[in-house]
Amino acid sequence: MVLSVIIPTCNAANWLDEQLTRLSSQSLPPDEILVVDSASTDDTRAIACNFPLVRFIEIEKEAFDHGGTRSMAARQCRGDILVFFTQDAMPANKHCLALLTEPLRQEGRVAVSYGRQLPHADAAPFAAHLRLFNYPAAYEAPRCFADRKRMGLHTIFCSNSFAAYKKEALIAVDFFPEQLLFGEDTFTVAKIVELGYCVQYMHKAQVFHSHNYTIMDEVKRYFDIGAFHAAAPELLSTYGGVGGAGRRFVIAELKYLYAHKLLQLVPLSLARTALKLLAYNLGRQAQYLPLPLRRSLSMRPSWWQ
């Protein structure tokens, strides 16, 4: 099977050299790496072009779209398996591609796999716990459409920061949706799973990837999640709501702070939780909010027209 890696970039010079070096030295190396750059003003192009495996494509910054750009890149790749990275997801070892794509290189129903995201060394407590909660160090069986009744939205959880797809499955659902504010990975995995394929979490395939979001960053992120869920009601009607996972996360975060003797952060944790819930519910009602307010509450203000 041919293995292609796709990396959307924008001013990625701080990470790209190390990322491409690690990808080029994998135990299962990619056959090609496609870097799709949104008009970087730093040394992204020069760094990418130093690597023989890399094919560099530049697009206008305004043309970038989470789903549309990835679809454009996927259609140009020759791989049977397509692996997506974000520019700041750093392979943790030389086996991450082999471990991530293992179920896709075998016969079976698994058509999507995603790996474990570890917190960076500089991750703040909230960022570190978020990664440990969403990406545990534990095996999970493949998740298929029938599992939605007991697993809810987790059935289709996936992250294109570090995920692999069989190209045939992406073709079957016409790749990723365009002009989607958030969650092109979740939306696409839902369609793939509904066709009879499965998704699998590969906890031994690991990258370093985390963000130290401020409270306002969290507000904007959860506003966008709420707006995404409002725009795709079929996801919630098919896979259920987010309430149960939210409660588990709050309890887990409080336990994490207690275990790490960070009780002074409990009030901040509760405040962040309350603001995220408020932002999510505002996002669910985004269509009724004034346009300037929507833009100020979103991580992608330019998306709102």
Q: What are the domain boundaries of the chain?
A: 3-208, 215-303
> In the CATH scheme, what is the homologous superfamily, with its name and number, of domain 3-208?
Spore Coat Polysaccharide Biosynthesis Protein SpsA; Chain A (3.90.550.10)
Cα dihedral 230/273/305/191 (nearest 10): -40
Q: What is the DSSP letter of 148?
A: H
Q: Give strand pairing partners of 36.
A: 8, 57
Structure tokens that stand for 212 in this block: 């130290």
Task: Find the helix or strand (DSSP H, E) in which 92 lies.
Answer: none
Tens of pLDDT along the chain (305 residues)? 899 999 999 999 999 999 999 999 999 999 999 999 999 999 999 999 999 999 999 999 989 999 999 999 999 999 999 999 999 999 999 999 999 999 999 999 999 999 999 999 999 999 999 999 999 999 999 999 999 988 989 999 999 999 999 999 999 999 999 998 889 999 999 999 999 999 999 999 999 999 999 999 999 999 999 999 998 888 888 887 665 778 899 999 999 999 999 999 999 999 999 999 999 999 999 999 999 999 999 999 989 98
Q: Which residue has the tokens 């985004």?
A: 286
Helix, strand, coil content of the chain in percent (nearest 5): 50, 15, 30
